[in-house]
Structure formats: C-alpha cells, structure tokens
C-alpha cells in the first residue's frame, strides 16, 4: 500500500501498487485482506475506485467492522492480499449516450472508472451523489475533476437537494442509468427504470461474500425469472459471478 487518505471521518482511501497490470473493468471488485492474521479469516469485497496507472489503483471504503478496521489500520509500505479483478462489471456502450450515474454513500467508488470510460466514448455524463449529511458525500471533487456534471443530495439538506438522491432522476434526460448504493436507493432506481421504461439501467449489488469467485453460494440473490437452462441452479444468481452488476429487471433483492 502506497498511500492512505481519509476523505470522510469514517471512510478511508487506500492507494495500492499491484505486481501485475490486469486492468479491471468498471464495476468489478477485489477480495482484500491484510493477510497477516490481523483481520478476519475471510477477505472482504471492495470495488476498485480510482486508477492512476495500469498497476496503481485505490479503494475507498467505510469502516464498519473487523475486516475494514484492519484494512484501515494499514500504513504506507504495508502489504496486503488482493484477489481480482472479480465479477461482471458495468457494460459500457460504444455510442455517445446520455448517462446518469447514481451513487449513495460508499456506492460511489465504481462510478469513477465508469464515468471516465463513458466520457472517453463521447457520452454526456451526469453523476448524482447522495448521503445522509454533507460529510458523507464522497467523490464529488474527483468526479468533477474527470469532467462529469455532479449534483448532490443529502437527507438533512446540508448540501444540494434535500431528500433521497433518486428524487433528482425525473428531472434528467437519460438513455441509461447506472447505480450503486444502499438497497432502498437501488429499489428506487429499479422503480424509475420500470416507470419510464429505461431498459438499459444497471445496478451494482452488494452481498456478504465468503469466496468471491462462485463456489460458496453465500452471495446468492433470487433471479427475477428462473433460467431453465441452469436447472436447479437457475433460481438464483451469484452476486460475485453473475454480478455484482445486474440489469435492473434481472434480480429480486
């Protein structure tokens, strides 16, 4: 780990140097642990956030329990174990679409690389970021530095729109919506996609994960429509393999 930043009182950004340069796709994640017995037995899933070079990238996370506490306690030059990139990321269209990104709290990290990829393809991109209060708004300056238009919302009205960030959606023209954040926010985006309709709306889900690569089945979510080709396994999808990014109508959560 090369640098530790603290963008909010309970959030840490770790900049890491990787030995290889397998470029992750926006929305993919890594399983991270200190690997030295200081943390939990199992690694923790985290989306990558900013990429600075093919081998240098960062992770931005809220400290909520033993796994994230141990990662947050790392110091520059400490080593950590990372497995990835894992999972299915956001599909990035080649056409210059009008895209709206919606991030709630620590749902912002996967939107940075997605925003950059969309801008490179000529898209017009607006990012909506929300939090309970203004100190929880993450990534605003970093998304603006990419060239995205950023609008904010806070539950208590201390910055931007007062209320859920998804209340900003109806005022925007969008061909596609991409969202990552807490479940109530994802449900509101799902309902918005259904009401327009906006078929190309994608949601990045979170789930408790033990393995991260499809074998423990601990991260299963119900598919909206069972896949008969998969027999008894067609009722569920694994967030770590078939996700974490799903089209809005693929899963029930």
Ligand X SMILES: Cc1cc2nc3c(=O)[nH]c(=O)nc-3n(C[C@H](O)[C@H](O)[C@H](O)COP(=O)(O)OP(=O)(O)OC[C@H]3O[C@@H](n4cnc5c(N)ncnc54)[C@H](O)[C@@H]3O)c2cc1C
Please choose which of ligand FES, ligand X, none residue 62 contacts, taking the beta carbon within 5 to 8 angstroms, the exact cut-off set by kind: ligand X
Nearer to ligand FES, 25 or 238 (CB): 238
CA nearest neighbour of 81 among 20, 16, 34: 34
Among 24, 26, 45, 136, binds ligand X (CB under 6 A): 45
Please choose which of ligand FES, ligand X, none residue 47 contacts, taking the beta carbon within 5 to 8 angstroms, the exact cut-off set by kind: ligand X
Give me 165's structure tokens. Answer: 């960030």
Consecutive H or E run containing 252: strand 251-252
Please choose which of ligand X, ligand FES, none residue 68 contacts, taking the beta carbon within 5 to 8 angstroms, the exact cut-off set by kind: ligand X
Determine the Cα–Cα distance for residues 248 and 127; give it in Å rounded to an integer. Answer: 18
Q: Smallest distance from the beta carbon of 29 to ligand X, in angstroms?
A: 4
Please write down the long-range contacts of 15-21, taking CB distance under 8 Å and 24 or more positions apart: 15/52, 15/56, 15/57, 15/58, 16/56, 16/57, 16/58, 16/59, 16/80, 16/82, 17/55, 17/56, 18/55, 18/56, 18/57, 18/82, 19/55, 20/55, 21/54, 21/55
Please choose which of ligand FES, ligand X, none residue 189 contacts, taking the beta carbon within 5 to 8 angstroms, the exact cut-off set by kind: none
Determine the Cα–Cα distance for residues 150 and 140; give it in Å rounded to an integer. Answer: 7
Give me 71's structure tokens. Answer: 């990662």
Nearer to ligand X, 15 or 198 (CB): 15
Determine the Cα–Cα distance for residues 53 and 139; give it in Å rounded to an integer. Answer: 19
Nearer to ligand X, 43 or 160 (CB): 43
Instruction: Tell me, residue by residue from 144 to 183, as one string, x for binding to ligand X by CB under 6 A and - for no binding.
Output: ----------------------------------------
Please choose which of ligand X, ligand FES, none residue 185 contacts, taking the beta carbon within 5 to 8 angstroms, the exact cut-off set by kind: none
Q: Smallest distance from the beta carbon of 211 to ligand FES, in angstroms?
A: 4
Nearer to ligand X, 10 or 78 (CB): 10
Q: Please tell me whether residue 24 binds ligand X under the rule CB under 6 A.
A: no
Piece in contact with ligand X (CB under 6 A), picked from 18-26, 37-45, 124-132, 149-157: 37-45
Please say whether the dihedral angle defined by the alpha carbons of residues 250, 197, 178 and 137, taken in this order, is positive or negative.
negative
Torsion angle, alpha carbons of 32, 1, 179, 175, to 10: -130
Among 33, 47, 58, 176, binds ligand X (CB under 6 A): 47
Provide the β-strand partners of residue 220: 238
Q: Please tell me whether residue 244 binds ligand X under the rule CB under 6 A.
A: yes
Nearer to ligand FES, 99 or 219 (CB): 219
CA atoms within 13 A on the CB side of 13: 18
**Footprint of ligand X on this chain (CB under 6 A)?**
29, 40, 44-47, 60-62, 64-68, 106, 109, 206-207, 209, 244
């Amino acid at each position: 780990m090369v640098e530790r930043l603290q963008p909010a009182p309970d959030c840490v950004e770790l900049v890491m140097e990787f030995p290889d340069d397998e470029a992750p796709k926006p929305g993919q994640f890594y399983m991270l642990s200190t690997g030295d017995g200081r943390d939990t037995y199992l690694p923790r899933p985290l989306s990558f956030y900013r990429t600075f070079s093919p081998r240098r990238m960062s992770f931005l996370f809220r400290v909520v329990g033993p796994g994230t506490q141990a990662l947050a306690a790392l110091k520059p030059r400490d080593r950590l174990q990372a497995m990835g990139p894992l999972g299915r990321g956001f599909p990035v269209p080649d056409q210059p679409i009008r895209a709206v990104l919606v991030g709630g709290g620590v749902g912002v990290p996967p939107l940075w690389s997605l925003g950059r990829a969309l801008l490179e393809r000529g898209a017009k991109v607006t990012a909506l970021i929300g939090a309970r209060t203004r100190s929880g708004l993450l990534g605003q300056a970093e998304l603006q530095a990419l060239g995205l238009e950023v609008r904010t919302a806070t539950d208590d009205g201390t910055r931007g729109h007062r209320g859920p960030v998804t209340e900003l959606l109806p005022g925007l023209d969008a061909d596609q919506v991409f969202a990552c954040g807490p479940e109530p926010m994802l449900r509101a985006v799902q309902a918005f996609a259904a009401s327009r309709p906006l078929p190309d709306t994608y949601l990045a889900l979170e789930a408790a994960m033990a393995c991260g690569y499809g074998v423990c089945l601990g991260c299963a979510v119900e598919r909206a429509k069972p896949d008969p080709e998969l027999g008894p396994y067609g009722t569920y999808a694994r967030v770590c393999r078939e996700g974490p990014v799903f089209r809005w109508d693929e899963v029930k959560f």
